[in-house]
Amino acid sequence: MLNLDGKTALVTGAGSGVGQGIVRQLARQGATVVVNDLDQAKADSTVAELTSAGFQASTAVFDVTDAGAVRASIAELGPIDILINNVGNAGAVPMEMAAFKDSLPENWPKFVDVNLYGVMHCTHAVLDGMTTRGWGRVITISSAAGRMGLNIGVSIYGAAKAGAANLMRHISQEVAANGVTCNAVALGLMDTVPEEFTAHAIKGIPCGRLGTPADAGYIVGFLASEEASWITGQLFGVDGGSAPF
Ligand SMILES: NC(=O)c1ccc[n+]([C@@H]2O[C@H](COP(=O)([O-])OP(=O)(O)OC[C@H]3O[C@@H](n4cnc5c(N)ncnc54)[C@H](O)[C@@H]3O)[C@@H](O)[C@H]2O)c1
């Protein structure tokens, strides 16, 4: 069950955090994983962990916001069966929070570039191969901030995350007949965020704890499997019950 033997999975931003939980799970299910990151050292360290545990893994260092680099790198990798668009937040720079009225227009593109254009670049580069081969999975990591309004200064980030989730819905309709599914996962607050930001917020999570990279890995592992072939165009909340709709 949920076996991914013979499949190759590319996970963006898998050199740390949530992406590491995703590559660990996909590798356990039998996939050969390609660990993308901007940062060579982080990608290498994730691959070293996986290969020393006996899994098949390699690195692909590129910036998801650079359309040319994405296309060239993915062409070099060969067939990708499963794409996980995991890179997000503010990309390579720290997340800055500001109410929309106080935000500076020059700070908006960094959120849209990584959370929406990055998803478009990677998805566009793999989709033709998936539809031609008649099998594929595209799973985009979105956020609770892309499903609901929050008064925590993340409106541009949330707008880009909502855009990426809706992109999955549209593409799902275009490629379903070719055996390719496209879904999104809206994560709640994860334990990859520094404690000073989470200490208060944790009280509002009905399950009483932050999410872990493993929690993200479990749903992605299911959506990537053959058993999930009739599930497409959906956005799944994985958030400890924080957004129950
Ligand atoms: N952390 C949370 O609480 C939370 C909540 C909801 C959703 N999310 C989403 O989950 C995903 C993973 O979050 P995280 O906190 O683990 O990520 P993270 O900020 O730890 O970054 C993951 C990796 O992405 C790499 N990276 C950054 N920009 C890149 C780029 N342009 N190209 C390639 N690699 C790049 C970084 O080097 C890093 O190793 C993101 O999409 C994020 O928006 C996170």
Instruction: Indicate the average pLDDT of the chain.
Output: 97
3-state SS of 164-214 is: HHHHHHHHHHHHHHHCEEEEEEEECCECCCCHHHHCCHHHHCCCCCCECHH
pLDDT at 201: 87
Positive or negative CA dihedral for 7, 76, 130, 239?
positive
Enumerate the domain spans of the chain: 8-236
User: Separation of 114 CA from ligand 1 center, angstroms?
Assistant: 9
CATH hierarchy code of domain 8-236? 3.40.50.720
Ligand 1, CB within 6 Å, residue ranges: 12-13, 15-19, 36-39, 42, 63-65, 86-89, 91-92, 114, 141, 143, 187, 189-190, 192-193
Instruction: With a cut of 90, say whether residue 194 has pLDDT above it.
Output: no
Q: How do residues 5-56 score in pLDDT, each as one tens digit?
A: 999 999 999 999 999 999 999 999 999 999 999 999 999 999 999 999 999 9
Give the atom of ligand 1 at the shortest distance from the alpha carbon of 88: 41
Report residue 57 as tokens.
Answer: 């893994």
> Sorting pLDDT into bands at 50, 70 and 90, what band is 226?
very high
Instruction: With a cut of 90, say whether residue 197 has pLDDT above it.
Output: no
Give the atom of ligand 1 at the shortest distance from the alpha carbon of 95: 19
Active site residue 117: no
> Sorting pLDDT into bands at 50, 70 and 90, what band is 219?
very high
- 43: three-class secondary structure by DSSP: helix
70-84 core/surface letters (b: 16 or more CB in 10 A; e: else): beebbeeeeebbbbb
pLDDT at 213: 98
User: Separation of 18 CA from ligand 1 center, angstroms?
Assistant: 7
Q: How do residues 74-111 score in pLDDT, each as one tens digit?
A: 999 999 999 999 999 999 998 989 999 999 999 999 99
- Residue whose CA is closest, atom 25 of ligand 1? 13
User: Separation of 140 CA from ligand 1 center, angstroms?
Assistant: 12
Q: Give the Cα separation of 244 and 242 in Å (integer).
A: 6
- Residue whose CA is closest, atom 23 of ligand 1? 13
- The reply to whether the predicted model has a pTM over 0.95 is yes
Residues 55 and 27 sit within 8 Å (Cβ to Cβ): yes
- Residue whose CA is closest, atom 13 of ligand 1? 18
pLDDT above 70 covers a percentage of the chain that reads: 100
Give the atom of ligand 1 at the shortest distance from the alpha carbon of 198: 3
Give the atom of ligand 1 at the shortest distance from the alpha carbon of 141: 41
Q: How do residues 156-182 score in pLDDT, each as one tens digit?
A: 999 999 999 999 999 999 999 999 999
Number of H helices, E strands in the chain: 8, 7
User: Separation of 15 CA from ligand 1 center, angstroms?
Assistant: 9
Q: Which of 18, 157, 168, 171 is catalytic?
A: 157
Q: At what angle do helices 118-133 and 155-175 cross, to 10 degrees?
A: 10
> Sorting pLDDT into bands at 50, 70 and 90, what band is 209?
very high
Cα-to-chain-centroid distance, residue 148:
19
